[in-house]
């Protein structure tokens, strides 16, 4: 029988800590949340590999390093409201829940599946699952102190930036071809300014592709 607890420890020691992620809440969350239950059963043996896990339909579970570094640069505080966009079965929301006051975990109904049961298994009582198109977000629960997008983005809808509280932060993996850059946006006086964080890669989320301009 697989010793997933040992694999979690190895994941943190070989993928997370060497990526200069040292904040205790992140380390503790990634050591505690059972990543293997949030992936398709046939892929559980892959749960702790240092790579994105294909969930089908252009969606992935972000590799541990990418998620950890995103959370590190966002520096989520215990009194903050977070929107986790593209949460799938809820792994990222479960991790974030251990450092935030509350998490609104957003995904399409067919993606959430058994997320409610899984979130319940680990007693993440501060996670609220919200069914919606990813491009819509969950404005009714906002505005948010932090927004995390779980996948690649070529173009970011303004509707999502509108849901970010003034003084809030958003982490986004901007993809240009096969290469990607995570940037953190800081909203000040209604305007978001972006700063480079680190390099990573993931498929562009459906609906976040670059819109083609039509020439007459």
pLDDT computed for residue 212 by the predictor = 65
**Kind of pairing between the strands at 164-176 and 179-188:** antiparallel
The full set of domains in the chain, from first to last, is 4-200 (3.40.50.150)
DSSP secondary structure letter of residue 12: I
The mean pLDDT value for 100-113 works out to 94
Taking residues 105-115, report their average pLDDT: 91
The answer to whether the CB of 38 falls within 8 A of the CB of 150 is: no
31 in Cβ contact with 7 (< 8 Å): no
Calculate the alpha carbon distances from 210 to 90, 119, 124, 135, 156 in Å.
27, 33, 35, 13, 9
User: What is the model's pTM?
Assistant: 0.94
Task: Express the helix, strand and coil content of the chain in percent, nearest 5 each.
Answer: 35, 30, 35
Residue 28: pLDDT band (50, 70, 90) is very high
DSSP at 209: S
| Bond into 143 cis (ω within 30) | yes
Lowest mean pLDDT, pick from 29-33, 112-116, 164-168: 112-116
pLDDT at 57: 86
**CA distances, 209 to each of 136, 203, 206 (Å):** 14, 10, 7
| Residues above pLDDT 70, as percent of the chain | 97
- What is residue 176's predicted lDDT score, i.e. its pLDDT? 85
Weakest-pLDDT range from 111-115, 188-192, 196-200: 111-115
- Whether 58 shows a pLDDT value over 80: the answer reads yes
pLDDT at 213: 54
Angle in degrees, 0-180, between the axes of helices 64-74 and 24-32, rounded to the nearest 10: 150
pLDDT computed for residue 56 by the predictor:
87
**High-pLDDT (> 90) share of the chain, %:** 88
User: Does 198 have pLDDT greater than 70?
Assistant: yes
Nearest of 115, 76, 113 to residue 97 by alpha carbon: 76
Rounded to an integer, the average pLDDT of 204-209 is: 92
Where do the DSSP E strands lie in 53-163?
Answer: 53-56, 59-61, 81-85, 102-107, 127-131, 144-153
Tell me the mean pLDDT in the region 71-85.
97
Q: Which residues pair with 173 in a beta bridge?
A: 152, 182
**For residue 210, what pLDDT is reported?**
83
Query: Tokens 């398709």 appear where?
Result: 40
In this predicted structure, the answer to whether residue 1 has a pLDDT above a threshold of 90 is: no
- Is 214 or 5 the better-scoring residue by pLDDT? 5
């Amino acid at each position: 029988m697989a010793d997933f607890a040992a694999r979690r420890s190895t994941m943190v020691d070989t993928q997370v800590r060497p990526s200069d992620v040292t904040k205790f809440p992140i380390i503790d969350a990634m050591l505690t949340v059972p990543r293997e239950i949030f992936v398709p059963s046939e892929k559980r043996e892959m749960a702790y590999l240092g790579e994105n896990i294909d969930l089908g339909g252009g969606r992935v579970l972000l590799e541990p390093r990418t998620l950890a570094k995103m959370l590190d640069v966002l520096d989520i505080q215990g009194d903050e409201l977070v929107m986790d966009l593209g949460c799938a079965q809820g792994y990222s929301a479960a991790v974030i829940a251990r450092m935030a006051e509350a998490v609104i975990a957003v995904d399409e109904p067919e993606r959430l599946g058994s997320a409610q049961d899984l979130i319940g298994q680990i007693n993440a009582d501060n996670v609220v699952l919200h069914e919606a198109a990813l491009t819509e977000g969950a404005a009714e629960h906002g505005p948010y102190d932090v927004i995390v997008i779980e996948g690649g983005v070529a173009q970011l809808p303004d509707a999502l930036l509108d849901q970010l509280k003034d003084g809030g932060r958003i982490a986004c993996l901007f993809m240009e071809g096969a290469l990607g850059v995570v940037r953190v946006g800081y909203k000040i006086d209604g305007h978001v300014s972006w700063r480079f964080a680190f390099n990573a890669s993931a498929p562009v989320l459906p609906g976040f592709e670059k819109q083609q301009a039509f020439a007459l």
